[in-house]
Amino acid sequence: MTTAQLCLLVACLLPVACAWVAKAGAFGLKDNHDPRTWLARQEGWRARANAAQANGFEALPLFIAGLFVAHQHQAPQATVDMLALAFVAARVAYIGLYLADWAALRSVAWVAAVAAAIGLFFAG
C-alpha cells in the first residue's frame, strides 16, 4: 500500500471520526432512531463536528478524482504521496480548527486541502 492509498483510507475515515466526536458522550440508543434530527439539534462544538463531517464528505470526491488522475498519468509516486499527505494534514487541521471555532484559520486549512487535491491533477 502506498502512502497515498493510506491517505485515501484516512480521508475516508475522517468524516466518520467527526460523527463520532459529535455524538461522543451524549448520543444514546434512543437517539439512534433518528440520528440526523438529533445531530440537527446540537449546538457548539457538537454542531461544528457534525458540520466538519459533512464538509469531509464534500471534500472527498475532489481528492479521489485527483488521486485517480495522478495515477492515470503515472505521476511520480513521491509527488502523489506528498500531496496526499498535505491533503490529509490540512483536513485534520481543518477539523481541529472547526472544533475550536477558529473560522479564519479553518478557511486557510480548507484552501490548503483543496490546493493539494487540485495539485494531484497536475502531478504528472
Distance set, CA 89 to CA 5, 7, 40, 68, 81 (Å): 14, 9, 28, 20, 12
Grid cell 485527483 in the structure block, residue: 66
pLDDT tens per residue, range 21-62: 988 888 876 767 788 888 888 899 999 999 999 999 999 999
- Tell me, what's the pLDDT at 7? 98
How many residues does this entry show for the chain? 124
Domain count, the chain: 1
H-type helices in the chain, by residue range? 3-23, 35-40, 44-72, 77-100, 103-121
Domain containing residue 45: CATH number:
1.20.120.550
Mean pLDDT on 87-105: 98
Question: 101 is in which domain, residue-wise?
Answer: 3-121
